[in-house]
Amino acid sequence: MNAQQQLKEDIVRICRMLHRKNYLAATDGNVSVRLGDRVLITPSGINKGLMEAYQVITVDLTGRVLTGEGQPTSEIRMHLLAYELRPDVSAVVHAHLPYATACTLAGIDLLEPILPEVMITLGGIPTAPYATPGTEEVPEAIRGIIQEYDALLLSRHGAMTVGRDVMDAYNKMEKLEHTARVVLAARLQGPLPPLPAAEVEKLRHLAEKYREGG
């Protein structure tokens, strides 16, 4: 199996994992992987839990279809912007997480330093302002955020994560939804105090070591 075919299989595997976790409904969500000057990306209008590798579409870095039938996801601009701004990124995942989306509807910010593991692995989870799905508004809404963060909420529209490979991006999505679930449950009991400033500073040092693989 060549590298491109393996990456297509990886995309399908992640789509099925997202579907099993209830992170996607029907034809929602999209996944992509960068391979040099090409991007392998999920098609529009396909149930991701039932997708097959042959349905993955290959585009260039401008979004022009090179191989595959149908059209790439309508959110392709969001993926291409991440690859343009982040040369360290090789995969993008967008999912409609129930708890994370609920946070944006309820006006709950996940950027506050609440959970230490989130500070270490993600640095924080900001929320991008609302943008009409499938339009140029979406990449513009995330432009100033995706350069700094690997995981972000899209107001009323789920979440987006990026990673060094598609499993890394998926793991960040799983952590994001877990965080949203914990915060929503805790908020039922009242306001959540953030971690003390001294502890946040310690966690930032640990985050640097985590990013360096230490």
Buried residues in 64-73 as b, exposed as e (16+ CB within 10 A): ebeebeeebb
Neighbours of 163 (CB within 10 A): 21
The interaxial angle of helices 166-187 and 3-20, nearest 10 deg, is 20
Q: What angle do CA 24, 93, 89 make, to 5 degrees?
A: 175
**Options 9, 52, 69, 75, the catalytic residue:** 75
Is 75 among the catalytic positions?
A: yes
The two tokens of residue 208 are 């640097």
Query: Tokens 């039932």 belong to which residue?
Result: 50
As a whole number of angstroms, the distance between CA 183 and CA 160 comes to 18
Would you name the residues annotated as active-site residues?
75
